[in-house]
């Protein structure tokens, strides 16, 4: 039982540390670009996540096309039909545990939906939305 508790504490610590470090790094970058920056915003992130655009392959998509509205559930990828595990780190402990993975998927998903790489502000807002959505 003690081992399980220790493993849980370590995984929770590493998740929050990686995520916190990632958001802090983004915040520093945004402050250089925009000195009046007041912090990442859940509502801006929600708008980015739920708005539709003509994305990859000329199809109208949003982040919800693959991840759904309920981030606690698995969903099918709009383009491939493959199942995607829940995006919420509250139910999928593998989410937001490695900075390289966070960057890789944000880059890929922004390109799929927006046909471009997301800005530091957009990435911070979206991560804030995903990690704080109930």
- Fold type of domain 2-132: Cytochrome Bc1 Complex; Chain D, domain 2 (1.10.760)
Instruction: State the Cα–Cα distance between residues 111 and 2, nearest whole angstrom.
Output: 44
Longest Cα–Cα distance of the chain, Å, equals 53
**Per-residue confidence (pLDDT) for residue 101, from 0 to 100:** 95
Residue 17 phi, psi dihedral angles, 5° rounding:
-70, -45
Share of the chain above pLDDT 90, in %: 84
Domain ranges of the chain: 2-132
86 neighbors 74 (Cβ within 8 angstroms): yes
Residue 111 phi, psi dihedral angles, 5° rounding:
-65, -40
pLDDT beyond 50 at 114: yes
Mean pLDDT value across residues 126-130 = 97
Q: What is the pTM of this model?
A: 0.86
**Per-residue confidence (pLDDT) for residue 95, from 0 to 100:** 93
63-89 pLDDT, tens digit each? 999 999 999 999 999 989 999 999 999
């Amino acid at each position: 039982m003690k081992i399980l508790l220790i493993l849980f504490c370590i995984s929770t610590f590493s998740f929050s540390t990686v995520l916190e470090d990632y958001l802090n790094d983004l915040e520093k970058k945004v402050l250089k670009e925009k000195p009046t920056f007041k912090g990442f915003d859940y509502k801006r992130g929600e708008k980015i996540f739920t708005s539709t655009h003509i994305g990859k392959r000329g199809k109208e998509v949003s982040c919800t096309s693959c991840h759904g509205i309920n981030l606690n559930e698995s969903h099918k990828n709009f383009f491939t039909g493959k199942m995607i595990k829940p995006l919420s780190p509250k139910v999928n402990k593998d989410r937001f545990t490695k900075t390289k993975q966070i960057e890789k998927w944000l880059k890929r998903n922004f390109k799929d939906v927006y046909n471009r790489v997301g800005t530091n502000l957009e990435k911070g807002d979206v991560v804030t939305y995903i990690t704080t959505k109930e």
